[in-house]
Chain A
Amino acid sequence: MYTLRRWWDRHGLRTGLVFLALGSAWVLRQTQGAAVFEVYQRVSRPFESMPTSAERIETAEMQELQQRLTELESQNQQLQEMLGYVQSRPTEGITAPIIGRSADHWWQQVTLGRGSRDGIQVGGIVAGPGGLVGRITHVTPSTSRVLLISDPTSQVGVTISRSRHMGYMRGQAANRAVMEFFDKVPDVQPGDVVSTSSFSQLFPPGFPIGRVESVNLSKSPAPEAVIELSAPINALEWVVVYPNSRTEVSNNP
């Protein structure tokens, strides 16, 4: 008993602090760092930029319009062939500033300065000038975290707008992504516009994503194409979040 008390006298404070530190770290981990991001949002508010009219964004917007046009033309053609097509593009979105990037190097994430208080929900679709950017994976009252489509774990069902050949795409960490086709001999050529397909479980169909940069048809097990994403993800400062109708799918990051 006496030795126990002496040990406690000597190491009590230190032990307490160690448990306090471990405990609070665990709480932060379980709450996905909610407290940290809330304070971070407050601290970084004075540094939020206004919407820029930089040329880069403008060209990206141009590209997006062009791609949408191609997509719409192609869709229109299909519509004429097939009656009963339902346009499922969400209409109104929430504009949100990007206040932070990923806190480590392996994940391609951004943090937005709007959260559940502004109506953002997990699974929401994030788009910027240029097209699709990512998906909301976590929400706190005034921030939310986005898993970008350039992250290797984020897989999107995509289609070539011109020929409607389907495949899925995984990110490659910069503004490049790799598309794997379901067909053995897809009709695809560099410059083709890529958009989300109706097979995508997480994204609504018809969102512009990017352009085909190069094609490797001899790749095994499936032909591959390198896609250049049209949204300038590293230069983005504002994005628009659309509510997602396909939120019943699991949202593991």
Chain B
Amino acid sequence: MIKSLLFNLAQSGIYTSPVMNWVVTAFSVLLCLFISPTRLPGMELLGVGPNWLLIWVVAWSIRRTVWQGAIAGLVLGLIQDGMTAPHPTHAISLAVVGMLTARIQKQRYIQEDFISVALIVFGMAVLAETITAVQFSLQGIGASAYAAHRALAEVWFYHQRIALSSAILSSLWAPVVYYPLNRWWQQTNAVEPSQT
């Protein structure tokens, strides 16, 4: 019933208009933004929640070009800067995640199912936290001894803890973002046809 309704809507062209497509995409980003500061029960591991923006960037870039991935990562990174603290920036790690996800030769190595998406998110979450940790370390080296900064040993100790828990949680929750978004983009043909 609903499926046929959706199909009719898709046929009538409301669905396929690019404006509608961008509205839905922006709305999904907004949802990810709103869910980031919440800690719903069952979503926490050692006080760390899933990295929703990272999941979104992976879901976006998985069937797009490197440039599209990079720009999406940049945009979401800047927004996350605004929501937490701008130094060090989140834009670098998310842009790298977007580029790498788009770059992976998925046709050859990985099939596009839930498990492989979860695996990509796992790897990318570890990578993103590592990039942030490197930025914190550089900041610490540049700062004077008594200015407010994080000690090198503390940064990397903390990195181990959050990289693992964030990667596990993000990869478990990845399908929640990936499945509906990918379904939508496939229906509207917004994603690039898979290249060989």
Show the binding face of A for B, using Cβ within 8 Å. Answer: 13, 17-18, 21-22, 25-26, 28-34, 36-37, 39-40, 43-44, 99-107, 109, 111, 152-155, 172-174, 234, 253
* B90 interface residue per 8 A CB criterion: yes
Closest-by-CB residue of B relative to A104 is B84
**Is the C-beta of B18 less than 8 angstroms from some C-beta in chain A?**
yes
B20: interface (CB < 8 Å)? no
Q: Please, which residues of chain A bring their CB within 8 A of the CB of B38?
A: 44, 100-101
A102 and B37 CA atoms in complex are apart in Å by: 5
A6 vs B76: C-alpha distance in the bound complex, in angstroms? 31
Query: Apart from A104-B90, A152-B150, A152-B151, what 7 extra A-B contacts exist at CB < 8 Å?
Result: A25-B77, A29-B82, A31-B82, A33-B79, A101-B37, A102-B84, A105-B162
Complex Cα spacing A22 to B95, Å = 13
* Interface class of chain A by DSSP: mixed
Decide yes or no whether B48 CB sits under 8 A from chain A: yes
Chain B residue, CB-CB nearest to A154: B148
**Looking at the complex, which one of B39, B82, B85, B148 makes contact with A107 (CB distance below 8 Å)?**
B85
A-B contact list, 16 entries, CB within 8 Å: A18-B71, A21-B75, A25-B78, A26-B78, A33-B79, A36-B33, A36-B83, A40-B37, A100-B38, A101-B37, A103-B84, A104-B36, A105-B162, A172-B154, A174-B47, A253-B85
B residues whose Cβ falls under 8 Å from a Cβ of A: 18, 22, 33-34, 36-39, 47-49, 51, 71, 74-86, 90, 129, 132, 136, 148-151, 154, 158, 162, 166
Q: Determine which of B75, B76, B80, B84 lies in contact with A109 in the assembled complex, contact meaning CB atoms within 8 Å.
A: B84
Chain A residues in 8 Å Cβ range of B82: 28-34, 36
| A189, B193: Cα distance in complex, Å | 67
Asked, given contacts A36-B33, A173-B158, whether A104 binds B80 with beta carbons under 8 Å apart, the answer is yes
Q: Which residues of B contact A172 (CB under 8 A)?
A: 154
Residues in chain B near residue A18, CB distance under 8 A: 71
Rounded to whole angstroms, the CA-CA distance of A152 and B85 in the bound complex is 13
Q: Which residues does chain A contribute within 8 Å of B34, judged by CB atoms?
A: 36, 39-40, 43-44
**Which residues from B are CB-within-8-Å of A152?**
150-151, 154, 158
Chain B residues whose CB sits within 8 angstroms of the CB of A39 once the complex forms: 34
Q: Is the CB of B48 within 8 A of A25?
A: no
Which listed residue, A17, A103, A155, touches B83 by the CB 8 Å rule? A103
Q: For the complex, give the distance between the alpha carbons of A154 and B80 in Å.
A: 20
B47 — which chain A residues lie within 8 A by C-beta?
Answer: 173-174, 234
Leading 3 A-B pairs by shortest Cβ distance: A100-B37, A33-B82, A25-B78
**Is A36 within 8 A of B39, CB to CB?**
no
Is A29 a contact of B78 with CB atoms below 8 Å?
A: yes
Given the complex, which residues of A lie within 8 Å of B71, measured CB to CB?
18, 21-22
Contact partners of A31 in chain B: CB under 8 A: 82
Q: Residues of B contacting A25 with CB < 8 Å?
A: 74-79
Across-interface contacts of A22 in B (CB, < 8 A): 71, 74-75, 78
Docked pose: A151 CA to B18 CA in angstroms: 43
| Complex Cα gap A103–B136 (Å) | 17
A40 to B31, CA, bound (A): 10
A99 partner residues in chain B, CB cutoff 8 A: 37
Residues of A close to B158: CB separation below 8 A = 106, 152, 173
- CB closest chain-B residue, reference A221: B145
Complex-state Cα separation, A116 to B18, whole angstroms: 39
* Chain A residues within 8 Å of B86, by CB: 29
**Which A residue sits closest to B162, measured CB to CB?**
A105
- Nearest residue in B to A28 (C-beta to C-beta)? B82
B148: chain A residues at CB < 8 Å are 153-155
A40 to B22, CA, bound (A): 21
A152 to chain B, nearest CB (A): 5
Cβ of A36 and Cβ of B79 under 8 Å apart?
A: yes
Given contacts A152-B150, A234-B47, is CB(A33)–CB(B22) below 8 Å?
no
Residue of A nearest to B22 (CB): A17
B38 to chain A, nearest CB (A): 6
Closest to B33 in A: A36
